[in-house]
Amino acid sequence: MNRKSIVYAALIFIIGYASNAQAQKQHFTMAEAVNGMAGKLAIATMKQLQWAGSSEYYSYVVNNDTEKKVWIVNPENFIPNELTNLDQLNKALDKKGVKKLSAIPSLSFLTANTFYFTTDNKVVECNVTGDKLNITNLTKLPEDADPTAIDTSTMNLAYLSNNNLFVHSNHEKALQITNDGSKDIVYGKAVHRDEFGIDRGLFWSPSGRHLAFYRMDQGMVEDYPVVNWDSVPATVKFVKYPFAGRTSHEVTLGVYDTKTKSTVYLKTGTPKDQYLTTVTWSPDEKYIYVSLLNRDQNHLWMNRYDAHTGELVKTLFEEKNDKYVEPQHPLYFPTDDPNRFIWWSQRDGYMHLYLYVNDKEAGQLTSGNWVVNEILGYNTKANEIIFTSSKESPMQKNVYGVKLDTKEMRRFSTSFATHTAQLSHSGVWLIDNFTSREIPRAIDVCNLYTKDEKRILTSVNTVLNYHTARTEQINLHAEDGTVLYGKLIYPIDFDSTKKYPTIVYLYNGPHVQLNKESFPFSGNLWYDYMAQHGYFMFVMDGRGSSNRGFGFESVTHRQLGTVEMDDQLEGVKFLKALPFVDTNRMGVYGWSFGGFMTTSLMLRHPGVFKCAVAGGPVMDWSMYEVMYTERYMDTPQQNPEGYKANVLFDKVKNLQGKLLVIHGASDETVVWEHSMKFIKKSVDEGVQVDYYVYPGHAHNVRGKDRVHLMQKITDYFDVNLK
């Protein structure tokens, strides 16, 4: 055989092998596409990877069939040492009469050899010395304790039980510090419907001596019925739901002193339906800082209160905006110096960091047409704040540092990707967990100043043997020239001479970004599933979505659903220009705000899409909650034309094509009445709308039932687009 024949034979073999390998690739089942990334197709990670309290050691847990252990590692040498294991934990628990564990629980570290966890309604503190594990503290909780908050310096514990607030301090018996708790008077929980970055209602002071807590009076808020269909007859639970433009709840902030056993309330004044946000203790515990935001959400006062008397000490500064001011982060004190803190603000149009010294602004630390995402911590020696941001691209999140004295900024990330990072207590070492379109997951531990680093995990591609879709990043432009980021997901076995049905998936509401540099790059294996079944998928973040700055997000103010639709229609224009997209077979799907957008597109721009699926949709913004709606729409009384333009009940008669509306029957976010009124209107107008309800599910359908949901949605598109 001559040389040419050998080369030809080799090529035939390679082509045949590649074709055979491609032919052997699998299609996703619906269950794999929907829940696979949380199950059999999950990307490998290191469970409970974290810095061990104030130490420079990191820890992780192995919980599998052959090993259930806690490991501790010194990053100076990266040698893992076993800290404890399940057998050792269970032996110690058994001596205390605590029920045995079946796996290593979720651990919170205090030091490199001290941690605590919750099990069997008990908070268990453990210390490991040598090869011995001792339970050093065990606090019993009532079965209904929720929420709980632990001060890690003293292990003082606060919790809510039977609607009232209790505090365990100094290892004494729990003291009940409130007595009037009820469904109307709520203590110690997140308030203001979890807006403004609020995710808790209990705030321990730095030393653990004082506890600040929210008190919410919602007795004046209207009751709203949520039906439980599990019993015969069905039962009704009434929840408090503050509708836009109507009566809202009233919040105050209490402070409990564990030594004097006394409580004072901050004198935050009136009007009582204002918002109390960004609650922050000063390092010396003399003061509490609170952002007061008026109900119109366009005027903020940063106030300092005396933690011992509740008196207003000083208003440090104010922020105003013709649209809205949206505080999202507490103050950050880099050190124990009570006279130096960092404030997050969008005052220049992007979320940036501002340094305050002795109550005066000492300068803007970060600036530019990008946003700061998280503060990771502070390095004392370098006098540097470590943070993540979208500086390189809104699709990415990388790690940076900025010096407090010179404002000099540098990038630590060497891989442009989406980084989720943890900084050690000293600010020297970083656990860097990142993903990109090519990297399922990689985890590095690195010294930010010596550049020493070690890759401690490289995850394999769990979908390598599946037909995954070609995903192309698409950059379009809004009518004002703003760049809009999107993704086009191609059908498997794409043939440019054919025409394909196409589905637009959207959300396009505040604080949500769908397109990121992550794995899988499509963003959702259901998109790949649909690509395997002959669909194009298109996903774009139009104006109004997050991570692009205040101007990008707030352009929709007082007209939710108008500018966003203009941008999505730019996406449609792009799709229609592609010769392989069948413009007569286009569908649209979205949930929540995306459900509102989907329905709006079908009714305000009829004929663009042949069919649509709208899940949990807002149909009338006057029926949505005060905090969110009044920020973006003002009240119905202030903006009647804006509400009228975007209400959907009176536009049912415009429907062309097929529309499936889906709602969770126990939805306390977008209440069921939205879609029920819409269906009633469709009956009145003689318009055929398809409808499906998921009993027992709240605002979305989770768990195994989500497979049923996505199969229903897929079937609907198959019937109407194929």
- Residues assigned a catalytic role: 592, 667, 699
Tokens 């929980």 sit at which residue? 189
Tokens 């900084």 sit at which residue? 423
Dist CA 676 CA 645 (whole Å): 20
C-alpha closest to that of 398 among 361, 433, 364:
433
Q: Strand order in 122-129's β-sheet?
A: 108-111, 114-119, 122-129, 132-140
Distances (CA, A) of 54 to 35, 108, 264, 341: 36, 11, 32, 21
Give the side-chain half-sphere CA count within 13 A for 690: 17
Residue 18 phi, psi dihedral angles, 5° rounding: -65, -40
Give the side-chain half-sphere CA count within 13 A for 433: 13
Dist CA 653 CA 689 (whole Å): 11
Task: Please give the structure tokens belonging to residue 544.
Answer: 């109004």
Helix axes 705-721, 525-532, angle to 10 degrees: 40
Residue 40 phi, psi dihedral angles, 5° rounding: -65, -25
CA gyration radius for the chain? 28
Helices (H), 41-180: 86-95
Dist CA 558 CA 434 (whole Å): 37
C-alpha closest to that of 102 among 132, 65, 141, 133:
65
Dist CA 160 CA 149 (whole Å): 9
Q: Are 537 and 625 in contact (CB under 8 A)?
A: no
* DSSP code of residue 491: P
Dist CA 60 CA 49 (whole Å): 4
Dist CA 176 CA 21 (whole Å): 67
Q: In this structure, how many other beta carbons lie within 10 angstroms of the beta carbon of residue 473?
A: 13
Q: How many helices (H) and strands (E) does the chain have?
A: 11, 42
Give the side-chain half-sphere CA count within 13 A for 673: 13
